[in-house]
Structure 1
Amino acid sequence: MTFSLKSHRKSLLAGIVIPLMLSACSGPKMIAIHGESAAGLNRDAQGKPLSVVVHIYQLRSADAFNRMTMDALLAGKTEQDLLGNTLISSKELTMIPGKSVTDSETIGEETRYVGVVGFFRQPDPGYWRLLFDADAIKSRGLIFKAADCYLQPVTAKNIAIPGQSSQPPAECTSKRR
């Protein structure tokens, strides 16, 4: 059986080009981040809406994020203390009641998960944070809503966090402080 020089070149070219194309797909990718805030965002005891700070984390693993508690965040521990070597980077956004915020972020090659945390006055016990597969975010971007006491995914389906119900609450019922 003989091979022509032309078919050998095609095989060689395919052996170089295909891996390059595949590696380009898995590399860093710039994504759009869009957050929408409810008019009644993060209401105080008198019902006045207040802004919410949201942190977006790029993570190597979901384990530390799944174990993280709001009490630990509010106790003054650093993100690095809480997330350890799973934390790749973080970004902070401020959500204003009734407004939306748009930003962009490069999702790194080593990022496997994207975590979103809302620092609400009276957070819902399950939906003060969301966790996403990074590949889903790379293909669709990150769009979420911030309501009175919880975050809600819009574009990508979030990954369930231990103790989190399948849906965010219909309304926030905790007592206002």
Structure 2
Amino acid sequence: MTFNLQSHRKSLLAGILIPLMLSACGGPKMIAIHGESTVGLNRDAQGKPLSVVVHIYQLRSADAFNRMTMDALLAGKTEQDLLGNTLISSKELTMIPGKSVTDSETIGEETRYVGVVGFFRRPDPGYWRLLFDADAIKSRGLVFKAADCFLQPVTAKNIAIPGQSSQPPAECASKLR
């Protein structure tokens, strides 16, 4: 009887510990996505705020995302054409001036980077997109702000994209003309 009891305890312990250890591995993780927008979001020539579509990409590599241009996106090329086999998945959110949006997404095992693109009327040349390390997003979630003509990270620090200044612009008023 003692042998069977010890065997049962070992089985029970293994049944509890193995799933716990596996869940600690780098598997898929559900994260919160939160976007905040300013009241002056994406203003038109008359200063009227307009909504912005934001795409969130899960990526295997950052190379194609770093080379992507707004002109190529607006020329009608698909995300798959632009990002190729680095694209794992894409999610679309619509930001309304002065409002916030909250969603969730599962970050896959093979996701190394998360890219965020804002389709602004007159985008800032450096901050129409943001790039994040997926591990940082897994631990903190994805929180960003959409302002007049640019995106800004809130919780996780973004990875610098070639040609991007160290800080987003203070304002976009000069872009209205």
Identical pairs, percent: 94
Please say if residues 122 and 174 of structure 1, whose CA atoms lie closer than 8 Å, have aligned partners that are also in contact: no
Please say if residues 144 and 154 of structure 1, whose CA atoms lie closer than 8 Å, have aligned partners that are also in contact: yes
Deviation per CA, 1:49-96, whole angstroms, max 9, x where unpaired?
000000000000000000000000000000000000000000000000
Deviation per CA, 1:23-69, whole angstroms, max 9, x where unpaired?
64300000000000000000000000000000000000000000000
Deviates more, 1:18-27 or 1:74-83: 18-27
What stretches of structure 1 move > 6 A for 4+ residues in a row?
A: 1-16
Quote the RMSD (CA, aligned, Å).
3.4
**Structure 2: 5+ residue runs without aligned partners?**
none
Cα pair distance change 1:9/1:58, threshold 3 Å: same
> Secondary structure of 2:176's partner?
coil
Aligned to 1:13: 13
Cα pair distance change 1:159/1:15, threshold 3 Å: farther
Could you tell me how far 1:127 is from its partner in structure 2?
A: 0.3
> Secondary structure of 2:175's partner?
coil
Cα pair distance change 1:52/1:14, threshold 3 Å: same
> Secondary structure of 2:168's partner?
coil
Please say if residues 42 and 51 of structure 1, whose CA atoms lie closer than 8 Å, have aligned partners that are also in contact: yes
Q: Structure 1 CA distance, aligned partners of 2:162 and 2:8?
A: 54
Aligned to 2:166: 166
Deviation per CA, 1:75-126, whole angstroms, max 9, x where unpaired?
0000000000000000000000000000000000000000000000010000
Cα pair distance change 1:22/1:159, threshold 3 Å: farther
**Count of aligned residue pairs for this structure pair:** 177
> Secondary structure of 1:152's partner?
strand
Q: Structure 1 CA distance, aligned partners of 2:12 and 2:158?
A: 42
Please say if residues 127 and 152 of structure 1, whose CA atoms lie closer than 8 Å, have aligned partners that are also in contact: yes
Q: Structure 2 CA distance, aligned partners of 1:123 and 1:59?
A: 22
**Structure 1: 5+ residue runs without aligned partners?**
none
Could you tell me how far 1:21 is from its partner in structure 2?
A: 1.7
Cα pair distance change 1:26/1:169, threshold 3 Å: same
Q: Could you tell me the TM-score, scaled by structure 1's length?
A: 0.88
Please say if residues 145 and 154 of structure 1, whose CA atoms lie closer than 8 Å, have aligned partners that are also in contact: yes
Q: Structure 2 CA distance, aligned partners of 1:137 and 1:6?
A: 43
